[in-house]
Amino acid sequence: MTAEGKDNIAYKYRNYLVLERSLSPNSVDAYTKDMAKLLSFMQDENLTYRDVTLDYLQQFVAQLYDLGINARSVARIISGIKSFFNFLLLDGYIEADPSELLETPKIGLKLPTFLTIDEIGAIQKAIDVSTKEGQRNRTIIEVLYSCGLRISELTNMKFSDLFLDEGFIKVEGKGSKQRLVPISETAIAELENYMHYRKQQQPKKGSENIIFLSNRGTAISRIMVFHFIKEYAAKANVKKNISPHTFRHSFATHLLERGANIRAIQLMLGHEKITTTEIYTHMDKEFLRQEIIEHHPRNKR
């Protein structure tokens, strides 16, 4: 759909909120901002309105949590998204509402789902690593968990971001902010196993430096990771509703449970809005690595 078409729908949706739903100016502004968040996600995924499915919307919601948005705000955004798709359905832009089964978080309950160490192990055991796709997928899961990465940080990871001899990877997070994150020996071993297959691939132009490739030779997409994680969880009989973000949350939860410094965890997750240089001016990077070595279960021998 063209930019002009999207602008036209946005205009019509705002009129729908004002004229048909009789919402207050503040509510109209909130709903249109929620729509803008969704449109930005759709643009990143190269989606039209008709392409959006429940799985895509669940990935969108997972990213909201990844940004640190609380459950109450997520519930409000989902309400806005449901309103928008209801409008699209009523006006004939789509034939079915993909948000119909999208669940709203229960306010005041526990934080987003995390996995136990045994559940993570079961998911990894469900992967056939004798194939290049299997080894790639197992490596992706291990790096997500061992380093606490956002899915976008993983899919954009380049060979030039690896400093494995030093035990770190460079990560570019939100707002192009960079940080160094310690990487476990287990994740390094999985990466080395995957490199055997990666060297045999022919990347498309522009993807030569990307680590995790699809079979087409381009950077693996976030939705592809979302789907195979769901598939392996089902094979492992893990009943929790998980996404790539679940491994990031598990990373932080397991470190906290084992007494890691909360400041170190915040820095490793990239929640502080300061540059890598500023981070390591105030906190020695070897201390961050030691927090991982001492507290992350992947480093227990």
Residue pair 232/137 in contact by the 8 Å Cβ criterion: yes
C-alpha 77, offset from chain centre: 18
Please name which of 245, 232, 217 lies closest in space to residue 150, comparing C-alpha atoms: 245
Is 245 a residue of the active site? yes
Is 282 a residue of the active site? no
Q: Which two tokens stand for residue 220?
A: 């693996």
Is 49 a residue of the active site? no
Q: How far is CA 245 from CA 64, 210, 236, 275, in A?
A: 10, 21, 18, 23
Is 197 a residue of the active site? no
Q: Which candidate in 222, 245, 295, 298 is catalytic? A: 245
Is 296 a residue of the active site? no
Q: Which candidate in 179, 248, 285, 289 is catalytic? A: 248
Q: Which candidate in 33, 271, 282, 300 is catalytic? A: 271
Q: Which candidate in 136, 150, 249, 295 is catalytic? A: 150
Complete DSSP assignment for the chain: --HHHHHHHHHHHHHIIIIIS---HHHHHHHHHHHHHHHHHHHHTT--GGG--HHHHHHHHHHHHHTT--HHHHHHHHHHHHHHHHHHHHTTS-SS-TTTTPPPPPTTSPPSP---HHHHHHHHHTS-TTSHHHHHHHHHHHHHHHHT--HHHHHT-BGGGEETTTTEEEEE-GGG-EEEEE--HHHHHHHHHHHHHHTT--PPTT-TTBSSB-TTSSBPPHHHHHHHHHHHHHHTT--S---HHHHHHHHHHHHHHTT--HHHHHHHHT-S-S-HHHHHHHS-HHHHHHHHHHH-GGG--
Q: What are phi and psi of 7, to 5 degrees?
A: -60, -40
Is 21 a residue of the active site? no
Q: Which candidate in 174, 204, 230, 263 is catalytic? A: 174
The set of catalytic residues is 150, 174, 245, 248, 271, 280
